[in-house]
Structure 1
Amino acid sequence: MAQSIDKPPYFNGANYSYWKNRMMFFMKSLDYHLWDIILDGPFVPQRIKEEWNAEDRKKMELNAKALHILFCAFGPNEYAKVSFCEDAKELWEKLEVIHEGTNEVKETEIGTLNLNYENFKMNPEEHIKAMFD
């Protein structure tokens, strides 16, 4: 089934790395500043709301737009996990922790995979096909 280029890629909790990459390109294609908001966090004017100028308001709208696009991409279960997030950067980082783990978890997984690779060998009564499976 084809995906519309006007709608964000849908995410239901499966295959996060695939969705993450597609969402990055989707955001960049709409407005590269949206991706900057996700990576760097929102612009927050250093004055009260009543004193915002047009530029302040436009920059604040970028965060709202990024959040809206992200929320529109989620199914109900994913939405429930991140609905409390107030800015796009916080939401993106929360998704990464939920679906990829923290840096410590990633390092542990890499270490385990390396150890499994280094210890990989064929058992004496095993056929080559069974070993690779």
Structure 2
Amino acid sequence: MMNFIKGTDYESWRIIVKGPLSITTVDVLGNTKVKEEDDYDATDLAKAQKYSRAMSFLQRGITKEEFSRFSSCSSAKQILDSLELAYEGTSQVKKYRIDLLTQQYEMFHMERDENINDMSARFSNITNELKNLGKSFEAEDLGSIIFEKLN
């Protein structure tokens, strides 16, 4: 989802990550207050439009069945955080998944009666999941593991 949003409109991704939209003004006493929509100027309307677009990206990325889980979220950042929690879990769950996948990576071998394409696809799934969880590898490491497992 992150790559889709960044690729479509990078500014929308930045808006999502920054958090809720708050268009403010400073009154004559120097106090900051939230601006009423009726008082928005062209710049404010452009910001609101971008924020709505960011929300739309996230909402279109979830199924109808999932929508009820995220419908109470009032900001794009809340939706993103809820999606991360739902699909990646807490930091403890994430660490457990990294440990488990790292073990699979380190113990990787070609299965009996497995062809090279299946083995490569299985290896790619492990490394892609690890990358999605924040663990990265050098290209040489990945290639050498595959070559090593073939010999």
Give the TM-score, by structure 1 length.
Answer: 0.60
**Paired residue for 2:81, among 66, 69, 93?**
93
CA drift at 1:114: 4.5
After TM superposition, give the deviation of residue 28 of structure 1 in Å: 2.7
Over the aligned positions, Cα root-mean-square deviation in angstroms equals 3.1
**Cross-structure match for 2:96:** 108
> Paired residue for 2:35?
48
Letter in 2 for 1:129: R
Q: Is the 8 A contact 1:64 1:87 kept in 2?
A: no
Task: Compare relative contact order (CA 8 Å, sep 6+) and give the higher one, 1 or 2.
Answer: 1
**Any stretches of 5+ residues in structure 1 without a counterpart?**
1-19, 121-127
- Residue 70 of structure 1: aligned partner: 58
Unmatched segments (≥5 aa) in structure 2: 25-33, 114-118, 120-151
Cα 1:38–1:66 shift into 2, 3 Å: same
Question: Normalising to structure 2: TM-score of the pair?
Answer: 0.54
- Listed one character per residue, the Cα deviations across residues 57-100 of structure 1 (whole Å, up to 9, x for unaligned) are 21122221111232223321121221111221211111110011
State the aligned residue count.
Answer: 105
Q: What percentage of aligned pairs have identical amino acids?
A: 30
Residue 84, structure 1, aligned to residue 67, structure 2: no
CA positional deviation for 1:110: 2.3
Distance change (3 Å), C-alpha of 1:116 and 1:74: closer
User: Which residue, out of 19, 36, 41, partners 2:14?
Assistant: 36
Larger radius of gyration: 2
